[in-house]
Structure 1
Amino acid sequence: MSARALIVASTLVAPVAYLALPATAQAQAPKAAPTNIRGSVVSFANNTVKVKTREGKTVDVTLAEGGRIAGVARAAVTDIKPGDFVGIASLAKADGGDGALEVLIFPPAMKGTGEGSYGWDLKPNSSMTNATVADAVKGVDGHTVTVSYHGKEKKITIGDGTPVVTLAPASTKDLVAGAIVFIPATKNDKGNFVAQQLVVGTNGVVPPM
């Protein structure tokens, strides 16, 4: 795992991490929580990526000087082991508990990043839980993991077909038209989007977060 990828790992957590953790590689917390931009690359030039967002808008995001880029690599539910640190976006299920929308397995060096459970914007009413796996148990409808954070526990079901990824190296060469990106961006004093880091899909694997 490259240093570049490790730095970008800190972007894969809810905005609260920007306020609480030095792992964001920022000397100070930004004045405003980032806007999570999800979509496909239209073009990349002069350190600015033009993105067609999932909402259908087209926005320009400038990668800040020294900004980092990472990709994602496919993983499997069976890769999740007790003691691993994971980020799981989920939705509450009608029959109780949470069902995973996606799972990120953090590299060991990022354990503790953004620990907690909080609101997330992948889908309406979704949440993000960054926590340590207490146990991973095979269930009837998939895998159910028990995760712990700040003395609390939460059970999340990971159904068949749920995207499970980890981090991978990437570069500006991967910012080609059609590539899928996830970019936590903030607006500068001119109202333009600026990102310290972004995540881009490579080798057929897209950022699910």
Structure 2
Amino acid sequence: MRFNVLSNRRSALSLLACTAALCVSAALAQTPPAPQTVRMRGTIVSMTPATLTVKDRSGEVVELQMSDKLVVTEVYPIRLEDIKPGSYIGTAAMPQADGTQRAIAVSVFPEAARGTGEGHRPFDLLPQSTMTNATVADVGTISEGPLGRKLQLKYKDGEKTVVVPADAPVVTSRPGDRSLLVTGASVSLFAQLVDGKPTAMRVNAGKNGFALPY
């Protein structure tokens, strides 16, 4: 979902605010719905102790509050060879005519995150792109040239064959802190409306100029 918030523009979060206002009377008699989460990808323009200003992929500049409970995660590169049978991964990919998926990027989950988002679904990175979170059942040999490596992925009720090109980014993550949130840092963040203001709840960030693949 696109995150495009400015005070004088329509956006997913402003629509959310309108919906919330229209539903106040009904909500008084019901359990409030879970807050809508909006994803934004971009580059940090500036920050203060309380706010984060980010330029998204479309060029829009958005200022967000930072939650007191903000979770920051560092995303960093690893090698294609680090993907092993039994690894739990997420891969953004494009469907191919032969039924396989061609990876745009691969993220190897830490063991503590095994099972996160398991399954296969559409993804908003590119038109028609997909996301598959699954366990690596089999790893093919690395081919010379651009082909890379073929992975057989299994998830509940399904499986996919993913071809990872040699130039596809492969990353993993570890806990980070706000010191990663510096001008120029590549980020992928998740925000909610808090007291009517777009608020960053979770931020994935690259370090020392590393650009997040998604």
Identify the TM-score tier after normalising by the shorter chain.
Answer: 0.7 to 0.9
Cα shift at 1:139: 5.8
SS at match of 2:86: coil
Partner of 1:48: 51
Please state how far the C-alpha of 1:29 moved relative to its aligned partner.
7.6
Distance 2:62 2:83 in 1: 36
Provide, for residues 78-100 of structure 1, a one-character-per-residue CA deviation record: whole Å limited to 9, x for no partner.
10111110010111124431101
Aligned match for 2:138, one of 122, 130, 135: 135
Residue 162 of structure 2 aligns with which residue?
A: 156
Counterpart in the other structure of 1:175? 181
TM-score normalised by the chain length of structure 1: 0.80
Pair 1:30-2:59 in alignment? no
C-alpha separation between the residues in 1 aligned to 2:127 and 2:121? Answer: 13
Query: Where does structure 1 differ by over 4 angstroms across 4 or more consecutive aligned residues?
Result: none
Indicate the SS of the match to 1:138. coil
* Matched residue, 1:204: 209
Structure showing greater Rg: 2
What letter matches 2:122 in structure 1?
A: G
In structure 2, distance between residues paired with 1:137 and 1:29:
45
SS in 1 for 2:81: helix
Question: What is the count of residue pairs matched by the alignment?
Answer: 180
Instruction: List alignment gaps of at least 5 residues for structure 2.
Output: 1-31
Matched-pair contact (CA < 8 Å) for 1:91–1:99: yes
User: Alignment identity in percent?
Assistant: 36
C-alpha distance in 1, partners of 2:210/2:47?
20
Once the two structures are superposed, residues 142-182 of structure 1 have per-residue CA deviations (whole angstroms, 9 ceiling, x without a partner) of 11101111131100110011010010343212211111110
Residue identity opposite 1:194 in structure 2: T
Gaps of 5+ in 1: 1-27
AA aligned to 2:183 is A
**Contact 1:119 1:126 survives alignment (8 Å):** yes
Cα distance in 2, alignment partners of residues 135 and 201 from structure 1: 29
Instruction: Supply the RMSD in Å over aligned alpha carbons.
Output: 1.8
User: With CA pairs under 8 Å and 6+ residues apart, which has the higher RCO, 1 or 2?
Assistant: 1
Q: CA deviation at 1:195?
A: 2.3
Deviation at 1:189, TM superposition (A): 5.1
1:7 aligned partner? none
> Residue 86 of structure 2 aligns to which amino acid in structure 1?
G
